[in-house]
Chains A and B, each alone.
Chain A
Protein backbone atom coordinates (compact mmCIF):
# COMPACT_ATOMS: atom_id res chain seq x y z
CA UNK A 1 0.00 0.00 0.00
CA UNK A 2 1.53 3.28 -1.12
CA UNK A 3 1.59 6.31 1.16
CA UNK A 4 -0.19 9.52 0.18
CA UNK A 5 3.17 11.12 -0.62
CA UNK A 6 4.11 8.27 -2.94
CA UNK A 7 0.73 8.43 -4.65
CA UNK A 8 1.04 12.20 -5.09
CA UNK A 9 4.46 11.75 -6.63
CA UNK A 10 2.98 9.29 -9.15
CA UNK A 11 0.10 11.62 -9.96
CA UNK A 12 2.61 14.37 -10.66
CA UNK A 13 4.25 12.03 -13.13
CA UNK A 14 0.90 11.66 -14.89
CA UNK A 15 -0.38 8.43 -13.35
CA UNK A 16 -4.14 8.89 -12.97
CA UNK A 17 -4.64 5.47 -11.39
CA UNK A 18 -2.68 6.83 -8.43
CA UNK A 19 -5.24 9.61 -8.19
CA UNK A 20 -8.03 7.08 -8.36
CA UNK A 21 -6.43 5.31 -5.39
CA UNK A 22 -6.46 8.56 -3.42
CA UNK A 23 -10.07 9.28 -4.35
CA UNK A 24 -11.15 5.82 -3.27
CA UNK A 25 -9.20 6.13 -0.05
CA UNK A 26 -10.84 9.35 1.07
CA UNK A 27 -14.22 9.52 -0.69
CA UNK A 28 -16.22 7.89 2.08
CA UNK A 29 -14.83 10.15 4.81
CA UNK A 30 -15.25 13.26 2.70
CA UNK A 31 -18.76 12.27 1.68
CA UNK A 32 -19.79 11.83 5.33
CA UNK A 33 -18.37 15.26 6.17
CA UNK A 34 -19.95 16.94 3.14
CA UNK A 35 -23.29 15.32 3.91
CA UNK A 36 -23.06 16.54 7.48
CA UNK A 37 -22.34 20.06 6.32
CA UNK A 38 -24.91 20.21 3.53
CA UNK A 39 -27.65 17.86 4.69
CA UNK A 40 -28.45 16.12 1.42
CA UNK A 41 -26.80 13.57 -0.84
CA UNK A 42 -26.83 15.41 -4.16
CA UNK A 43 -25.01 18.44 -2.81
CA UNK A 44 -22.68 16.22 -0.82
CA UNK A 45 -21.74 14.23 -3.93
CA UNK A 46 -21.31 17.40 -5.97
CA UNK A 47 -19.04 19.00 -3.41
CA UNK A 48 -16.93 15.85 -3.01
CA UNK A 49 -16.51 15.67 -6.77
CA UNK A 50 -15.64 19.34 -6.93
CA UNK A 51 -13.13 18.99 -4.11
CA UNK A 52 -11.28 16.12 -5.80
CA UNK A 53 -11.21 17.93 -9.13
CA UNK A 54 -9.87 21.06 -7.44
CA UNK A 55 -7.31 19.03 -5.54
CA UNK A 56 -6.16 17.37 -8.76
CA UNK A 57 -5.85 20.64 -10.60
CA UNK A 58 -3.99 22.38 -7.83
CA UNK A 59 -1.82 19.49 -6.74
CA UNK A 60 1.25 21.47 -7.80
CA UNK A 61 0.43 23.93 -5.08
CA UNK A 62 0.26 21.27 -2.41
CA UNK A 63 3.54 21.83 -0.61
CA UNK A 64 3.28 19.02 1.87
CA UNK A 65 3.32 21.39 4.85
CA UNK A 66 0.13 19.92 6.20
CA UNK A 67 -0.85 16.33 5.61
CA UNK A 68 -2.60 15.61 2.34
CA UNK A 69 -5.87 14.73 4.00
CA UNK A 70 -5.98 17.97 6.01
CA UNK A 71 -5.46 19.84 2.76
CA UNK A 72 -8.20 17.77 1.14
CA UNK A 73 -10.55 18.46 4.03
CA UNK A 74 -10.00 22.16 3.65
CA UNK A 75 -10.88 22.00 -0.04
CA UNK A 76 -13.95 19.89 0.72
CA UNK A 77 -15.16 22.08 3.57
CA UNK A 78 -14.69 25.14 1.37
CA UNK A 79 -16.47 23.49 -1.54
CA UNK A 80 -19.33 22.49 0.76
CA UNK A 81 -19.61 25.92 2.35
CA UNK A 82 -19.50 27.49 -1.10
CA UNK A 83 -22.21 25.20 -2.33
CA UNK A 84 -24.42 25.85 0.67
CA UNK A 85 -24.03 29.56 0.07
CA UNK A 86 -24.72 29.32 -3.65
CA UNK A 87 -27.83 27.23 -3.38
CA UNK A 88 -29.25 28.68 -0.20
CA UNK A 89 -30.49 26.55 2.63
CA UNK A 90 -33.16 24.12 1.59
CA UNK A 91 -36.56 24.44 3.13
CA UNK A 92 -37.80 21.96 5.66
CA UNK A 93 -40.23 20.03 3.48
CA UNK A 94 -37.75 19.41 0.72
CA UNK A 95 -35.15 18.48 3.29
CA UNK A 96 -37.33 15.88 4.95
CA UNK A 97 -38.17 14.33 1.60
CA UNK A 98 -34.53 14.06 0.74
CA UNK A 99 -33.50 12.23 3.86
CA UNK A 100 -36.02 9.46 3.25
CA UNK A 101 -33.91 6.36 3.85
CA UNK A 102 -33.33 4.02 0.94
CA UNK A 103 -34.24 0.56 2.04
CA UNK A 104 -34.00 -1.44 -1.13
CA UNK A 105 -30.24 -1.23 -1.53
CA UNK A 106 -29.64 -4.00 0.95
CA UNK A 107 -25.86 -4.13 0.51
CA UNK A 108 -25.31 -2.95 4.03
CA UNK A 109 -27.87 -4.71 6.18
CA UNK A 110 -27.16 -2.51 9.17
CA UNK A 111 -28.71 -4.27 12.11
CA UNK A 112 -31.98 -4.68 10.23
CA UNK A 113 -32.03 -8.43 10.71
CA UNK A 114 -32.20 -8.16 14.46
CA UNK A 115 -34.51 -5.16 14.67
CA UNK A 116 -38.25 -5.43 14.67
CA UNK A 117 -40.19 -2.98 12.47
CA UNK A 118 -40.85 -0.48 15.24
CA UNK A 119 -37.16 -0.40 16.17
CA UNK A 120 -36.29 0.19 12.53
CA UNK A 121 -38.76 3.01 12.35
CA UNK A 122 -37.31 4.56 15.48
CA UNK A 123 -33.81 4.36 14.11
CA UNK A 124 -34.86 6.03 10.86
CA UNK A 125 -36.68 8.74 12.74
CA UNK A 126 -33.69 9.32 14.94
CA UNK A 127 -31.46 9.60 11.87
CA UNK A 128 -33.74 12.21 10.35
CA UNK A 129 -33.85 14.06 13.66
CA UNK A 130 -30.07 14.05 13.94
CA UNK A 131 -29.69 15.51 10.46
CA UNK A 132 -32.36 18.07 11.13
CA UNK A 133 -30.70 19.09 14.39
CA UNK A 134 -27.28 19.43 12.75
CA UNK A 135 -28.74 21.61 10.02
CA UNK A 136 -30.25 23.92 12.62
CA UNK A 137 -26.84 24.83 14.00
CA UNK A 138 -25.09 28.01 12.91
CA UNK A 139 -22.58 27.17 10.16
CA UNK A 140 -19.50 27.57 12.36
CA UNK A 141 -20.82 25.29 15.09
CA UNK A 142 -22.02 22.80 12.51
CA UNK A 143 -18.62 22.67 10.82
CA UNK A 144 -16.81 22.15 14.12
CA UNK A 145 -19.28 19.45 15.20
CA UNK A 146 -19.10 17.60 11.90
CA UNK A 147 -15.30 17.63 11.80
CA UNK A 148 -15.08 16.48 15.40
CA UNK A 149 -17.94 14.01 15.72
CA UNK A 150 -18.01 12.48 12.26
CA UNK A 151 -14.36 12.74 11.39
CA UNK A 152 -12.78 12.71 14.82
CA UNK A 153 -10.32 15.48 13.97
CA UNK A 154 -8.34 16.99 16.83
CA UNK A 155 -8.99 20.56 18.01
CA UNK A 156 -5.69 21.54 16.45
CA UNK A 157 -6.68 20.13 13.06
CA UNK A 158 -10.11 21.77 13.24
CA UNK A 159 -8.55 25.11 14.26
CA UNK A 160 -6.17 24.81 11.34
CA UNK A 161 -9.02 24.08 8.93
CA UNK A 162 -11.34 26.76 10.23
CA UNK A 163 -8.52 29.26 10.69
CA UNK A 164 -9.38 29.99 14.30
CA UNK A 165 -7.89 29.24 17.71
CA UNK A 166 -8.30 25.94 19.54
CA UNK A 167 -10.19 27.83 22.23
CA UNK A 168 -12.69 28.96 19.61
CA UNK A 169 -13.06 25.37 18.42
CA UNK A 170 -13.78 24.29 21.99
CA UNK A 171 -16.41 26.95 22.45
CA UNK A 172 -18.08 26.24 19.08
CA UNK A 173 -18.27 22.57 20.04
CA UNK A 174 -19.59 23.42 23.49
CA UNK A 175 -22.46 25.57 22.23
CA UNK A 176 -23.14 23.30 19.27
CA UNK A 177 -23.47 20.27 21.51
CA UNK A 178 -25.62 22.16 23.96
CA UNK A 179 -28.00 23.06 21.17
CA UNK A 180 -28.01 19.50 19.79
CA UNK A 181 -28.92 18.17 23.22
CA UNK A 182 -31.74 20.67 23.51
CA UNK A 183 -33.13 19.58 20.15
CA UNK A 184 -32.54 15.86 20.47
CA UNK A 185 -33.42 15.94 24.15
CA UNK A 186 -34.84 12.65 25.36
CA UNK A 187 -33.19 10.62 22.59
CA UNK A 188 -29.75 11.24 24.01
CA UNK A 189 -29.95 9.75 27.47
Chain B
Protein backbone atom coordinates (compact mmCIF):
# COMPACT_ATOMS: atom_id res chain seq x y z
CA UNK B 1 0.00 0.00 0.00
CA UNK B 2 1.48 3.31 -1.10
CA UNK B 3 1.22 6.68 0.61
CA UNK B 4 -1.32 7.58 -2.05
CA UNK B 5 -3.36 4.51 -1.03
CA UNK B 6 -3.31 5.56 2.62
CA UNK B 7 -4.59 8.99 1.71
CA UNK B 8 -7.29 7.49 -0.51
CA UNK B 9 -8.42 5.05 2.19
CA UNK B 10 -9.07 7.97 4.51
CA UNK B 11 -11.29 9.56 1.90
CA UNK B 12 -12.92 6.36 0.70
CA UNK B 13 -15.81 6.54 3.15
CA UNK B 14 -16.62 10.05 2.01
CA UNK B 15 -16.40 8.92 -1.61
CA UNK B 16 -18.71 6.00 -0.92
CA UNK B 17 -21.17 8.34 0.83
CA UNK B 18 -21.11 10.79 -2.08
CA UNK B 19 -19.75 13.50 0.15
CA UNK B 20 -16.53 14.37 -1.66
CA UNK B 21 -16.16 17.28 -4.00
CA UNK B 22 -13.61 18.82 -6.34
CA UNK B 23 -10.03 17.71 -5.99
CA UNK B 24 -10.70 15.09 -3.31
CA UNK B 25 -13.31 13.45 -5.47
CA UNK B 26 -11.01 13.44 -8.49
CA UNK B 27 -8.07 12.11 -6.47
CA UNK B 28 -10.09 9.12 -5.30
CA UNK B 29 -11.84 8.32 -8.54
CA UNK B 30 -8.62 8.50 -10.57
CA UNK B 31 -6.83 6.29 -8.05
CA UNK B 32 -9.60 3.69 -8.05
CA UNK B 33 -9.11 3.14 -11.77
CA UNK B 34 -5.54 2.00 -11.24
CA UNK B 35 -5.51 0.42 -7.77
CA UNK B 36 -7.22 -2.92 -7.27
CA UNK B 37 -6.56 -2.85 -3.53
CA UNK B 38 -8.46 0.38 -2.94
CA UNK B 39 -11.19 -0.65 -5.38
CA UNK B 40 -11.61 -3.84 -3.33
CA UNK B 41 -11.81 -1.79 -0.16
CA UNK B 42 -14.58 0.29 -1.70
CA UNK B 43 -16.45 -2.91 -2.56
CA UNK B 44 -16.21 -4.01 1.08
CA UNK B 45 -17.60 -0.65 2.22
CA UNK B 46 -20.49 -1.04 -0.20
CA UNK B 47 -21.21 -4.58 0.93
CA UNK B 48 -21.24 -3.57 4.57
CA UNK B 49 -23.57 -0.64 3.93
CA UNK B 50 -25.94 -2.91 2.07
CA UNK B 51 -25.90 -5.53 4.82
CA UNK B 52 -26.52 -3.00 7.58
CA UNK B 53 -29.35 -1.25 5.79
CA UNK B 54 -31.02 -4.51 4.79
CA UNK B 55 -30.79 -5.94 8.27
CA UNK B 56 -32.34 -3.00 10.10
CA UNK B 57 -34.99 -2.49 7.44
CA UNK B 58 -35.95 -6.12 7.77
CA UNK B 59 -36.14 -5.79 11.55
CA UNK B 60 -38.37 -2.73 11.31
CA UNK B 61 -40.50 -4.44 8.68
CA UNK B 62 -41.10 -7.43 10.93
CA UNK B 63 -42.08 -5.39 13.96
CA UNK B 64 -45.75 -4.74 14.62
CA UNK B 65 -45.62 -0.97 14.59
CA UNK B 66 -49.37 -0.42 14.88
CA UNK B 67 -48.74 -0.47 18.62
CA UNK B 68 -46.75 2.76 18.31
CA UNK B 69 -49.80 4.87 17.55
CA UNK B 70 -51.95 3.16 20.19
CA UNK B 71 -49.25 3.81 22.79
CA UNK B 72 -48.62 7.38 21.63
CA UNK B 73 -52.31 8.28 21.48
CA UNK B 74 -52.91 6.83 24.95
CA UNK B 75 -50.01 8.92 26.27
CA UNK B 76 -51.06 12.19 24.68
CA UNK B 77 -54.68 11.80 25.71
CA UNK B 78 -53.80 11.60 29.38
CA UNK B 79 -53.63 15.18 30.58
CA UNK B 80 -50.12 16.53 30.51
CA UNK B 81 -48.59 18.41 33.37
CA UNK B 82 -49.39 21.71 31.76
CA UNK B 83 -53.14 21.00 32.05
CA UNK B 84 -53.79 19.04 35.28
CA UNK B 85 -50.81 19.98 37.25
CA UNK B 86 -50.19 18.14 40.49
CA UNK B 87 -48.98 20.06 43.49
CA UNK B 88 -45.22 20.23 43.37
CA UNK B 89 -44.73 18.62 46.76
CA UNK B 90 -46.63 15.54 45.64
CA UNK B 91 -44.47 15.29 42.59
CA UNK B 92 -41.33 15.50 44.70
CA UNK B 93 -42.67 12.84 47.05
CA UNK B 94 -43.21 10.58 44.07
CA UNK B 95 -39.58 10.87 43.13
CA UNK B 96 -38.52 9.58 46.49
CA UNK B 97 -40.96 6.73 46.22
CA UNK B 98 -39.10 5.51 43.16
CA UNK B 99 -36.91 2.48 43.80
CA UNK B 100 -33.73 4.18 42.79
CA UNK B 101 -30.71 3.65 45.03
CA UNK B 102 -29.45 7.16 44.50
CA UNK B 103 -32.75 8.65 45.52
CA UNK B 104 -32.82 6.44 48.58
CA UNK B 105 -29.47 7.87 49.58
CA UNK B 106 -30.73 11.35 48.97
CA UNK B 107 -33.72 10.52 51.16
CA UNK B 108 -31.44 9.25 53.88
CA UNK B 109 -29.63 12.55 54.15
CA UNK B 110 -33.05 14.10 54.61
CA UNK B 111 -33.53 16.67 52.00
CA UNK B 112 -35.88 19.24 53.44
CA UNK B 113 -38.05 20.35 50.61
CA UNK B 114 -40.20 23.35 49.84
CA UNK B 115 -38.08 26.25 50.82
CA UNK B 116 -38.16 28.20 47.69
CA UNK B 117 -39.91 28.03 44.38
CA UNK B 118 -38.56 29.99 41.51
CA UNK B 119 -39.41 30.04 37.87
CA UNK B 120 -36.36 30.47 35.78
CA UNK B 121 -36.31 31.52 32.19
CA UNK B 122 -34.18 29.88 29.56
CA UNK B 123 -31.88 26.96 29.73
CA UNK B 124 -32.08 25.19 33.06
CA UNK B 125 -28.57 23.81 32.75
CA UNK B 126 -26.99 27.21 32.36
CA UNK B 127 -26.98 27.89 36.07
CA UNK B 128 -24.99 24.77 36.88
CA UNK B 129 -21.56 25.70 38.14
CA UNK B 130 -18.45 23.69 37.41
CA UNK B 131 -18.20 22.08 40.82
CA UNK B 132 -21.89 21.23 41.00
CA UNK B 133 -22.65 17.57 40.89
CA UNK B 134 -25.71 15.91 39.43
CA UNK B 135 -26.69 13.18 41.86
CA UNK B 136 -29.42 11.69 39.74
CA UNK B 137 -31.92 12.37 37.04
CA UNK B 138 -35.25 10.66 36.65
CA UNK B 139 -37.65 11.03 33.77
CA UNK B 140 -41.26 10.35 34.51
CA UNK B 141 -44.18 10.48 32.12
CA UNK B 142 -44.39 14.24 31.98
CA UNK B 143 -41.42 15.58 33.84
CA UNK B 144 -37.74 15.25 34.31
CA UNK B 145 -36.46 15.48 37.84
CA UNK B 146 -32.88 16.25 38.53
CA UNK B 147 -31.24 16.22 41.90
CA UNK B 148 -27.92 17.94 42.19
CA UNK B 149 -25.65 19.22 44.82
CA UNK B 150 -24.21 22.70 44.63
CA UNK B 151 -20.49 22.30 45.08
CA UNK B 152 -19.90 25.43 47.11
CA UNK B 153 -22.74 25.19 49.61
CA UNK B 154 -23.49 21.44 49.57
CA UNK B 155 -27.08 22.47 49.09
CA UNK B 156 -29.21 19.89 47.36
CA UNK B 157 -31.38 21.23 44.64
CA UNK B 158 -34.18 19.53 42.82
CA UNK B 159 -35.12 20.60 39.33
CA UNK B 160 -38.50 19.76 37.94
CA UNK B 161 -38.60 20.18 34.21
CA UNK B 162 -41.86 19.90 32.36
CA UNK B 163 -41.35 18.06 29.10
CA UNK B 164 -44.39 19.61 27.54
CA UNK B 165 -44.01 23.26 28.29
CA UNK B 166 -40.27 23.37 28.77
CA UNK B 167 -40.93 25.16 32.02
CA UNK B 168 -38.43 24.78 34.78
CA UNK B 169 -39.03 24.97 38.46
CA UNK B 170 -36.31 24.97 41.00
CA UNK B 171 -36.80 23.37 44.33
CA UNK B 172 -34.16 24.11 46.85
CA UNK B 173 -33.54 22.04 49.93
CA UNK B 174 -30.91 21.83 52.60
CA UNK B 175 -29.31 18.72 53.92
CA UNK B 176 -29.56 18.05 57.61
Contacts and interface: CB of A to CB of B under 8 A. Distances in A.
Interface residues of B, number: 37
A180 B47 CA distance: 12
Interface residues of A, number: 54
B26 interface: no
A36 B72 contact: no
Interface in B50-78: 51-53, 55-63, 65, 67-69, 71-73, 75-76
B48 A177 contact: yes
Contacts of A23: 68-69, 72
A146 B164 CA distance: 28
A53 B75 contact: yes
A173 B13 contact: yes
Contact of A36 (B51, B56, B61, B73): B56
Contacts of A155: 14, 17, 19
Interface in A29-63: 29, 31-32, 35-36, 41, 45, 48-49, 52-54, 56-58, 61
A145 B57 CA distance: 15
Interface in A17-37: 19-20, 23-24, 27-29, 31-32, 35-36
Interface in A167-189: 170, 173-174, 177, 180-181, 184, 187-189
Interface of B: 10, 13-14, 17, 19, 44-45, 47-49, 51-53, 55-63, 65, 67-69, 71-73, 75-76, 80, 139, 163-166
